[in-house]
Amino acid sequence: MERLLFLTGNAGKLAEASHFFAPLGYQVEQFLIDGKVPEIIEPQADGLRAVATAKIQQARNLLETEGINAAILVEDAGLFIDTLNGFPGVYSASVLQQIGLSGILQLLAQKDNRGAEFRACAAIFVNGEIHFGEGICRGLISLDEQGENGFGYDPIFCPEGGSKGTTFGQMNRAEKEQFSHRAKALESVKIELDALGR
Ligand code: ITT
């Protein structure tokens, strides 16, 4: 099994990536320095790819300092709501903390258009090169919170292609993986790695 260090503080993302990569012969481990997730600066105003690149660069510097040689995975995602011009987008993590799922539902209370999408950008640093993969999952914001699985916005997001009105929060990990932006982004990185014979 090849080690893949995933730089993330989000346990839900770590669990999904581990589930995805295990059958491919990668052991995903959380990227920790002295037992802690290192402080990473995320350039918030830029797109997901810029955020992923900045994280990879900081992770590389940390590994170099520690004298560790391993593949690195980072992944950035967000929820982009059509009628809110893509809000919360790259601010998804802090907006969730500030206004919660109920705040998002309130913002949409008078809106007919409940279209939204999750976007993810994954980046893997291996053998001196960065490889990117992107994934989008279209769907609708539900009328209320449903289900307790997953994390973040899962209880209010119904993916296109799923049973009508079923949120990610009502799906198990394998069901979510059939639709998820994260699985698509990781899949596209994997295809690139396979093509390079890695
Ligand atoms: P990192 O340490 O990996 O950066 P994070 O929680 O900051 O973890 P992101 O910036 O990638 O993660 O994602 C921003 C937020 O978007 C995240 O905190 C969730 O609230 C939400 N999000 C991303 N992917 C999601 C998913 O699959 N389901 C539900 N919410 C998701």
Q: Please indicate whether residue 135, judged by its CB atom, sits closer than 6 Å to ligand 1.
A: no
CA of 75 to the centre of ligand 1 (A): 9
**Residue 20, H or E segment:** helix 11-21
Q: Does 76 participate in catalysis according to the annotation?
A: yes
Pocket test for ligand 1, best of 49, 149, 153 (most atoms within 8 A of CB): 153
Higher pLDDT, 20 or 154: 154
* Half-sphere CA count of 120, side-chain side, radius 13 A: 23
Q: Is the separation of the CB atoms in 79 and 153 below 8 Å?
A: yes
Name the pTM for this structure.
0.92
> What whole-number distance in Å separates Cα of residue 46 and Cα of residue 183?
22
**pLDDT tens for residues 50-86?**
888 999 999 999 988 888 888 999 999 999 999 999 9
Q: Is the separation of the CB atoms in 125 and 71 below 8 Å?
A: yes
pLDDT for 45 beyond 70: no
Q: Is 36 exposed, middle or buried (0-12, 13-18, 19+ CB in 10 A)?
A: exposed
**pLDDT tens for residues 137-148?**
999 999 999 999
Pairing of strands 115-126, 129-141: antiparallel
Pocket test for ligand 1, best of 13, 19, 98 (most atoms within 8 A of CB): 13
Domains (ranges, CATH) in the chain? 2-196 (3.90.950.10)
Pairing of strands 2-6, 26-30: parallel
Neighbours of 193 (CB within 10 A): 19
- Cα 91 to Cα 18, 45, 123: the distances in Å are 25, 8, 19
Q: Please indicate whether residue 13, judged by its CB atom, sits closer than 6 Å to ligand 1.
A: yes
